[in-house]
Amino acid sequence: MIKKIIVIGSGKGGVGKSTVSVNLAVSLAKKKLKIGLLDADIYGPSIPRMLGITKKPNASKEKKILPYEKYGIKSMSIGNMIPDNSAIIWRGAMATSAIRQLYNDVEWGDLDYLLLDLPPGTGDIQLSICQSFNVNGALIVSTPQEISLIDVRKAISMFNKVNVPIIGLVQNMSYLKIDGKKQFIFGNDGVNKEAKKQSLNFLGEIPIIPDIAKSSDEGLPMSLNDKNEVSEVFQNLAEHTLRSIKNIKIKEVKIS
């Protein structure tokens, strides 16, 4: 039984949704919660690399796919089933069907939360997930600059139209520290200002730390280690997410 489903999206590519998804999942699991992570980015799956998973999945006696269990979370991705460097050239209907299969044909077991790492955009895949699953809330990731916020506003509008509650906004790549001083490479506080403008929760900010990218490439999420700044950032994000989702009620989804 999956108690609650959280989608992590943006509308914009390259803002760090997968990095947030993986580290948030690990941080929630460290709170003794049962967590699953489904990579819904069919065309650009990156969760297997970030979790250091290279083997093909196995099947149960009931012929269901067994999810990977690593770092305290269960995970599954289309990326685990295709050869490296192979492109998935599918139309929208095939991609959405694949996600439904990854949800329905995987033996997730009992989960407190299933996190879905969404692809960029506001198209077939996002709408199908909102229509097919009982999504409890959406967490939106953005970098501070206006060029990202343009697409984030579209994602917010989409979730509002399909009655998926927005848990809150996360600002990634907020600043880079040089000689102890914050350098706001992509602008200062754009996501927080947008959250206030739209009366949404601001869940926190993640600084630019080179080790985050390095650890993702190596398949070792930084949130695993309690003794670094990144782990503390994601622990706070996990707490704010849990606090925000408590009062959310699912509404009927209507898609025109």
109 assigned to some structural domain: yes
**pLDDT tens-place string over residues 91-116:** 778 888 888 888 999 999 999 999 99
Domain count, the chain: 1
**pLDDT tens-place string over residues 138-170:** 999 999 999 999 999 999 999 999 999 999 999
Residue 41 phi/psi, 5-degree rounding, is -90, 85
Residue 30 tokens read as 């460290």
d(CA 245, CA 93): 30
Assess whether pLDDT exceeds 80 at residue 88.
no
76 assigned to some structural domain: yes
16 assigned to some structural domain: yes
Is residue 223 within 8 Å of residue 25, measured between CB atoms?
A: no
Q: What percent of the chain has pLDDT over 90?
A: 63
92 assigned to some structural domain: yes
Is residue 98 within 8 Å of residue 66, measured between CB atoms?
A: no
pTM over 0.75: yes
15 assigned to some structural domain: yes
Look at the alpha carbons of 28, 210, 188, 15 in this order and tell me if their dihedral is positive or negative.
negative
Is residue 172 within 8 Å of residue 139, measured between CB atoms?
A: no
Look at the alpha carbons of 82, 45, 42, 56 in this order and tell me if their dihedral is positive or negative.
positive
pLDDT band at 228 (very low <50, low <70, confident <90, very high): confident
251 assigned to some structural domain: no
Residue 78: give its domain's CATH number.
3.40.50.300
Residue 222 tokens read as 């930084």
22 assigned to some structural domain: yes
23 assigned to some structural domain: yes
Domain that holds residue 230: 2-245
